[in-house]
Structure 1
């Protein structure tokens, strides 16, 4: 099957190189057309993935789950995610983004809503595993999709903008989840956390249908672009691909040590990211904030700081064409923030919230800045498989991180040691980033 999302399909002669002003205008048009919509989809995706952290505030008491059970259930999501990541991204590359992303969104919406029926640890684990299977391929699929439109030199800022959906899901989802859980408790005999799962699944259904109507598979199929604008975009992609080494087979891709180094670096980023996002409501509560709605409101503060950090660092990375130190800096910020929040404890609420904001800004800004590294040397089907492989291996940290925190919390009645461990992982990841040759990624 010919992939209509292939950015160089039907390219033919490139013609004269377009001017800088013309390029900027075209890329601005593309950005406003697809990025806000993709961000909205990812806000919903991420909220449905991590809203279990808010459910925990009531769910553990109602169902008599331990912190270890919660941590394992939160993490099991990523085992399903791991198993289907690479096949999902290869399928997307073959059949096109529009149909496949819609399929992903509709299936995860149904499963997310079915969390209202969870009663036992076994059913909790099963539903989290199925949710991971359903959502697998969404994030790496979007990253792959962005490579169809934007060359490496513009990609860091674009990915950072897209990934502000993560903290925005916290800014929006925290107060929303807290309000639903507090306001709907007892309505029609259902608990607040059951209502939260049902109501927050509805937007994914709506957006899944919207993807089919709104999204294009690639440059050639975009009717809202003129022929001249398509040529400008195709020039950028063709020039970008021309500067990359091509992996002749998937075997060659997976024997490339750079791919596995990238997976290890991303593992370190994800350890911090999901350790923080799954446990943020509990950490806010530990800092001295009481009441589900108040916890939800206060989670918006760290996530707001993360939005600012992601946009500023993404813009700076593209402007300076520097990738390594722009990733190392937020990873170290995240480590300092995690340690500081643990040291502040419950006696200094304002200080703890400030350090959690630093931690959120650091760990959440790390992910989009990371993706400018592997997409600098991957293209074509290698990009589809490579991005998915890196994401799936790295996201195993999404299993390890919340489970680790849950075990440590049950054993010590505190999250402090876990936060110190996560900080150490981030520092180790920053050291690995500096082992990557600058010439490989500074594009």
Structure 2
């Protein structure tokens, strides 16, 4: 009798594991490739200005300081509109709101081809930030509404891998477009903005057909698969609700010190990420490469970052640990930025950029797996948006500091050292937060330390 019960129990456990694997596999293939494509195009439109600058800066009279300021001012518009945009998404659903975001940012990105000087450049970068606000945290929120907790770091990593992948594949494309001759009265940098904006508008309309707001609406889930997924997500929500540190309200989430700390950590990683996105082409170009050659070299670090991000996220999910999976790659990225400041040859520069890209990218998925451990509902929408909007101010500070110090010193080293300090400082903050107490660390990071 005991043997029969044991076999029946084993069979039920095996069926449950098979059901779980089947659901996660469907979620992975039905959702992740499409949102990755959206982010691929999003990131390309954010940072293609780094390639446009190879001839645009001279054409419209931008100094390094003015370019760094204009390149980063995107994040001021992003910052101001991020939280309200994500709260609207939580109300109306991801399908409609993400479509709106993509269409408007595509139109603004195309209009950037017609800037004539610093002022119009600033205006268009600001409007691009306003248009795109809500996309990234909206997708992160969307993933938490579909993927169980143990699969979220890998899901977030797959989504965010589109950023380095965008640079890896987009850099040669942008470099090739910068080799175009004057056509139709437009220079190469203008064609770059117009051509690379078209996919955003087209995909915006595709979102209305492809994206599904809630698991219960998914026709590709069988009834038993839908029941398992909804039951798992509800149980996780109840478990968070029983936790003393759980936050569900929007205003409470905005005042939650854990949200502020995570925003500061994200500030450091964003400073590093967008320093690379906007300035790496010019750092490489100074060694005498063509625009296309610059794009090919810039693709190498970003291609390796995709692999590092996914492998590191899998390790984080397998260990069910987040804090050290943020700290270690952030420290590596800080060292890489410092190394880039000392590099004397293009080989050293590319090696440094590999270290930085892999470090920054690897830290992001474990970091974005943390909020779901203590936020839900409107609290999750507001908290995730706040982390992203405040954190992305690093995307303003990093590029601006590089441009300002380059104009003062004539080189990139000083700015790279400052950004390295940002990244390392916030890694130390994570360590301090993690070591404060085992219980506090588990609350903040959702890990088992």
Give the TM-score category using the shorter length. Answer: over 0.9
Partner residue, 1:388:
385
Worse-matched range after superposition: 389-398 or 359-368? 359-368
2:33 aligned residue: 36
Name whichever of 333-342 and 96-105 sits farther off. Answer: 333-342
Contact 1:334 1:361 in 2 (8 A): yes
RMSD: 1.4
- Which one has a larger percent helix, Structure 1 or Structure 2? 2
Runs ≥4 residues deviating over 6 A: none
- Match for residue 239 of structure 1? 235
1:412 maps to 2:415: no
Partner Cα separation in structure 1 for residue 85 and residue 168 of structure 2 = 30
Confirm whether residue 365 of structure 1 aligns to residue 362 of structure 2.
yes
* TM-score, structure 1 normalization: 0.93
CA contact (8 A) 1:85 1:388 kept: yes
In the TM superposition, what is the alpha-carbon distance from 1:310 to its structure 2 partner? 0.2
* C-alpha contact 2:251 2:379 (8 A) present in aligned 1: no
| 1:364 positional shift | 2.1
What is the CA distance between 1:253 and its match in structure 2?
2.0
Secondary structure, aligned partner of 1:187: coil
The aligned counterpart of 1:82 is: 79
Which whole-Å deviations, capped at 9, do the CAs of 1:342-363 have from their partners, x for residues lacking one?
A: 2112xx2212211111111111
CA distance in 2, matches of 1:369, 1:320: 11
Tell me how far 1:254 sits from its aligned partner.
2.4
Which of the residues 223, 227, 236 maps onto 2:223?
227
How many equivalent pairs are there? Answer: 424
Q: Classify the secondary structure of the residue corresponding to 1:188.
A: coil
Post-superposition offset of 1:373: 1.7
| Structure 1 residues 10-409: aligned runs within 5 Å | 19-183=16-180, 185-245=181-241, 246-247=246-247, 249-286=249-286, 288-345=287-344, 348-409=345-406
Q: Classify the secondary structure of the residue corresponding to 2:31.
A: helix
- Which runs of no fewer than 5 residues in structure 1 stay unpaired? 1-15
Q: Distance in 1 between matches of 2:388 and 2:131?
A: 15
Provide the C-alpha distance between the structure 2 equivalents of 1:190 and 1:369, rounded to a whole number of angstroms: 43
Q: Give CA deviations for 1:262-305 in whole Å, capped at 9, x if unaligned.
A: 1111111111111121111012223x251111001111001011
Equivalent residues of 1:305, 1:358 under 8 A apart:
no
Contact preservation (8 Å) 2:248, 2:377? no
Query: What whole-Å deviation, never above 9, does each CA across 1:350-407 have from its counterpart, x for those lacking one?
Result: 1221111111111122222211122221111100011001111111111111111110
Q: Which moved more, 1:123-132 or 1:239-248?
A: 239-248
Cα shift at 1:248: 5.5
Q: Is the 8 A contact 1:150 1:236 kept in 2?
A: no
Instruction: Give CA-to-partner distance per residue, 1:99-130, whole Å, 9 cap, x none.
Output: 10000000000000001110011100000000
- Contact kept, 8 Å, 1:284 with 1:295, in 2: the verdict is yes
Which 5+ residue runs of structure 2 have no aligned equivalent? 1-11, 435-439
Indicate the larger mover: 370-379 or 108-117. 370-379
Greater displacement, 365-374 / 63-72? 365-374
Aligned residue for 1:224, secondary structure, equals coil
Q: Output the CA distance in 2 between the equivalents of 1:161 and 1:355.
A: 24
SS at match of 1:182: coil
Cα distance between partner residues in 2 of 1:249 and 1:360: 35
Distance in 1 between residues matched to 2:187 and 2:145, nearest whole Å: 44
- Distance change in 2, residues 1:248/1:360 (3 Å): closer
Q: How many Å separate the matches in 2 of 1:44 and 1:198?
A: 13
Q: Please give the alpha-carbon distance, in whole angstroms, between the structure 1 residues aligned to 2:338 and 2:74.
A: 27
Cα distance in 1 between the residues matched to 2:303 and 2:247: 40
TM-score (norm 2): 0.92
